[in-house]
Amino acid sequence: MSNPVPTKLPSETTEYPDWSDPPTQQRRTALPIVLFLLTCVSTFVVGACQWDPNGLIEPIFGAGSMIPVRKSILSNWDQGLIYMAAVLLILLLHEFGHFFMTLVYKIPASFPFFLPFPANPIGTMGAVIAMQGNAADRKEIFDIGIAGPLAGLVAAVPIAWFGMAELDLTAPEKGWVAFRLPLLMQWFADYIQVPGYTAGSVVWLSQLNPLFVAGWVGLLITGLNMMPIGQLDGGHVTYTLFGKSAHSIARITIVIAIAFMTYHEAPTFALMIVLLLLMGTDHPPTRDDSVKLGPFRWALGIASLAIPVLCFPPLVLKVAGG
């Protein structure tokens, strides 16, 4: 996906204003590697601490001791490793789906920048790449935009499936927060017949497993990226499909999102919406908007509009007592 500033929770691409030198001379390597390694550590620690940032923050900043964190890591290191590997596989495939297409079309782009964030239940804020979007025509922007979500889903869907197969919702419900299921995972739960699952079930911290959380994160990130707004991946797709009519789609989507969060008093993505509004909801023109997509890309693009519906749980999390 493409944005002027890398601010997205999920994976995206962001534009540099100008590239005067060949792309290979512009790519930084040290910072992407450092951020990737920090994200490895962040996701590992969060997984080992049972996806409960309170179990990480309170001992350090409350009691001033690392002993509880160290004990949790020693007890659950295998869980942390599985989660780290699974969620980073999804993010890597997503970002390198974009990156590979920029190489195919010779569009200057950076290596992915991963965003570590241990103070939340998933350990990351996703990843971004930067590219010179105005160097790509309509067909190229479509391919670059849709390649990331499709590549990420190649890993996210089977990981989510196996994670659902390991769930047992008859286990005691403990924890301050629960994960709501997107529509696709609800279908998986019905088909697999997850013990204790009924329509509207949520998954509490005590019931989580690493593959479930990684699949859930992968679907969340993909669904969020495919929202038809600005230079999110979905914004690329809708602009290349519908041209300037995509601007109205983006504005309507923002209004619906604000109304939904206000009605449900759930400001989970309020900051992201503010950032999207500041950056602009309208997708800029491509290098050549007259290039034809062809019937296959049209069909794929229309089908991809269902991804947010299938992959994104609107209320995301449920707080205990809420």
Distance CA 25, CA 31 (A): 15
pLDDT at 2: 40
pLDDT at 60: 58
Distance CA 317, CA 315 (A): 6
For 180, the token pair is 């709501």
Q: Where are the domains of the chain?
A: 12-319
Residue listed under structure tokens 């534009």 = 15
Q: Rounded to an integer, what is the distance from CA 281 to the centroid of its chain?
A: 19
Those residues of the chain that have pLDDT short of 70 are: 1-26, 55-68, 268, 322
The residue among 178, 101, 97 whose CA lies nearest residue 141 is 101
pLDDT at 26: 59
pLDDT at 8: 41
Q: Model's pTM, two decimal places?
A: 0.88
pLDDT at 300: 97
pLDDT at 257: 87
**Straight-line distance from the first to the last Cα atom of the chain, in angstroms, rounded to the nearest whole number:** 34
Residue 2 near residue 12, CB atoms below 8 Å:
yes
User: Beta strands of the chain (E only): which ranges?
Assistant: 12-15, 113-116, 124-131, 177-180, 202-204, 317-319
CA dist list (Å): 163 to 30, 53, 86, 244? 34, 21, 11, 40
pLDDT at 234: 95
Edge-first strand order for the sheet with 177-180 is 202-204, 177-180, 317-319
Q: At what angle do helices 245-264 and 233-242 cross, to 10 degrees?
A: 140
- Helical segments of 49-137, H only: 54-57, 67-104
pLDDT at 4: 35
Which residues lie across from 130 on neighbouring strands? Answer: 14
pLDDT at 52: 85
pLDDT at 307: 97
User: CB 21: neighbour CB atoms within 10 A?
Assistant: 8
Question: Dihedral angle at the C-alpha atoms of 41, 42, 44, 49, nearest 10 degrees?
Answer: 130
Bridge-based pairing of strands 202-204 and 177-180 is: antiparallel
Give 268-319 pLDDT, tens digit per residue.
677 778 877 877 789 999 999 999 999 999 999 999 999 999 999 988 888 8
Q: Helix, strand, or coil here: 208? A: coil
